[in-house]
Amino acid sequence: MDTAKSKKLEIVIPAYRMHSQNFKNVLEGITEEAALKRIDNNTNHVVWMVGNFINCRYWIGSMLGIEDKNPFDDLFKDARALDESCSYPTLQELKKNFNDISPKVYQKLVNAIDGQLDEKFSFGMNVFFVPETILNMIGMCIGREDYLLGQMGLMRKLLGLKGMGYDMDENLKY
DSSP secondary structure letters along 57-104 = HHHHHHHTT-----TTHHHHGGGPPP-TTSPPPPHHHHHHHHHHHHHH
Three-state DSSP at 157 gives helix
Q: In the predicted model, what is the mean pLDDT of the chain?
A: 97
Q: What are the tens digits of pLDDT across the range 26-64?
A: 999 999 999 999 999 899 999 999 999 999 999 999 999
Three-state DSSP at 33 gives coil
Q: What is the pLDDT of residue 124?
A: 87
Q: What is the pLDDT of residue 68?
A: 98
Q: Which residues of the chain have pLDDT under 70?
A: none
Three-state DSSP at 116 gives helix
The CATH code of domain 7-158 reads 1.20.120.450
pTM for this structure?
0.96
Q: What is the pLDDT of residue 35?
A: 98
CA distances from 116 to 64, 131, 149 (A): 8, 14, 28
Q: What is the pLDDT of residue 150?
A: 98
Per-position b or e across 45-56, b if 16+ CB within 10 A of its CB? bbbbbbbbbbbb
